[in-house]
């Protein structure tokens, strides 16, 4: 069956992975919640509505995707789809909000995602990001899990310095600074992280340097990472993760996805995360093959 977006929804290419298929056939063919939202194939029309009664399951987890139209390239929207699908499979109900420039920021937030974008996309979100900066800083300080990829990772840092030397201030949630370069860093990546080997694909011209005391997300086993020189990749402060890894990163690395969901579930319900065993055989096989192909033993 061909999935058709509704009028007003913006088609995207979420690059679905092995673990981000719709939770049930009933979800196929359904669409974005509101006309201004980006179309996410496989997500139901009521994805942004809190379920009533027994439909809520173990609890409702509110997930906010920042700027999905401007800042979701290289399949980053697949991270939202993967999380929503896995939240359902663990017996919870995802409430998927899309935050667009100029719109009201959701009142209830348990998990925040952001992706990469072109320079023009960063310019389009810059003014709105300044408006919601204090809210994001507050959520980060409270321990809200966040995953920021590429361009949004840079915007969550202290500053981005363009090739021409212009300094663009960031939110300062992560103690990182990025310098623009003429040469891009492109290719598959393997990281050593607290979640085991993490794989993905990087494509960025910015070289990011960690501040003193800033923890990296992972150590590069293959690829460029933050800057191609110090073997660091990404950054982590509290429950805020920044990384250059597209792919999207979460379908190929379900342990990271479940770590974010677990943190969000605890914030949403006040109880420890109650996971359900998942069949991640395809994701595990794909990740293992990438590691085997890229890392010399």
Per-residue pLDDT of 196-246, as tens digits, reads 999 999 999 999 999 999 999 999 999 999 999 999 999 999 999 999 999
Find the catalytic residue in 90, 99, 150, 204: 150
Q: How confident is the model over 88-113, as pLDDT tens digits?
A: 999 999 999 999 999 999 999 999 99
Q: Which two tokens stand for residue 107?
A: 């009142």
| pLDDT at residue 168, as a whole number | 85
Question: What stretches of the chain show up as alpha helix (H) in DSSP?
Answer: 77-89, 119-131, 133-142, 151-155, 249-252, 254-269, 281-294
To the query of whether residue 150 is one of the catalytic residues in this protein, the response is yes
The active-site residue, picked from 62, 90, 100, 246, is 246
pLDDT in tens, 200-213: 999 999 999 999 99
At residue 54, does pLDDT exceed 70? yes
**Alpha helices, DSSP H only, in 10-132?**
77-89, 119-131
Q: Confidence band (pLDDT; 50, 70, 90) for 31?
A: very low
The angle that helices 133-142 and 119-131 make with each other, rounded to 10 degrees, is 80
Instruction: Tell me what pLDDT residue 119 has.
Output: 76
**How far, rounded to the nearest angstrom, does the alpha carbon of residue 262 sit from its chain's CA centroid?**
15
The predicted pLDDT at position 287 comes to 96
What is the model's pLDDT at position 32?
Answer: 60
pLDDT score for 73: 85
Q: Confirm or deny that 89 is annotated as ligand binding.
A: no
The whole-number average pLDDT for the span 268-275 is 97
Average the pLDDT over 5-23 and give the result: 37
Range in 38-52, 86-100, 124-138 the model is least confident about:
38-52
% the chain with pLDDT above 90: 71
* Mean pLDDT across the chain: 87
What does the DSSP 8-state code read for residue 62?
E
**Residue 56 pLDDT level (bands cut at 50, 70, 90):** confident
In tens, the pLDDT along 144-167 reads 999 999 999 999 999 989 888 888
Phi, psi of 30 (to 5 degrees): -95, 180
């Amino acid at each position: 069956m061909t999935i058709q977006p509704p009028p007003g929804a913006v088609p995207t290419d979420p690059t679905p992975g092995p673990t981000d298929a719709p939770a049930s056939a009933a979800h196929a063919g359904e669409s974005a919640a509101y006309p201004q939202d980006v179309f996410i194939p496989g997500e139901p029309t009521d994805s942004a509505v809190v379920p009533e009664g027994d439909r809520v399951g173990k609890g409702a987890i509110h997930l906010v995707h920042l700027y999905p139209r401007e800042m979701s390239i290289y399949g980053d929207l697949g991270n939202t789809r993967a999380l929503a699908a896995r939240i359902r499979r663990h017996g919870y109900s995802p409430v998927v909000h899309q935050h667009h420039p100029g719109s009201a920021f959701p009142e209830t937030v348990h998990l925040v995602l952001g992706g990469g974008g072109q320079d023009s996309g960063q310019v389009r979100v810059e003014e709105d990001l300044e408006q919601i900066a204090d809210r994001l800083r507050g959520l980060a300080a409270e321990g809200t899990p966040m995953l920021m990829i590429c361009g949004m990772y840079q915007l969550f840092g202290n500053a981005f310095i363009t090739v021409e030397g212009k300094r663009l201030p960031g939110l300062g949630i992560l103690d990182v600074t990025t310098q623009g370069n003429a040469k891009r860093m492109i290719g598959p990546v393997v990281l050593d992280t607290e979640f085991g080997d993490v794989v993905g694909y990087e494509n960025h011209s910015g070289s990011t340097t960690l501040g003193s005391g800033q923890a990296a997300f992972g150590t590069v086993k293959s690829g460029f990472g933050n800057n191609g020189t110090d073997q660091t990749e990404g950054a982590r402060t509290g429950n805020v993760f920044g990384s250059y890894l597209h792919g999207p990163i979460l379908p190929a690395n379900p342990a990271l996805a479940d770590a974010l969901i677990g943190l969000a579930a605890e914030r949403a319900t006040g109880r420890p995360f109650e996971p359900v065993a998942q069949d991640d055989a395809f994701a595990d096989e794909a990740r293992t093959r990438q590691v085997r192909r890229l890392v010399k033993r």
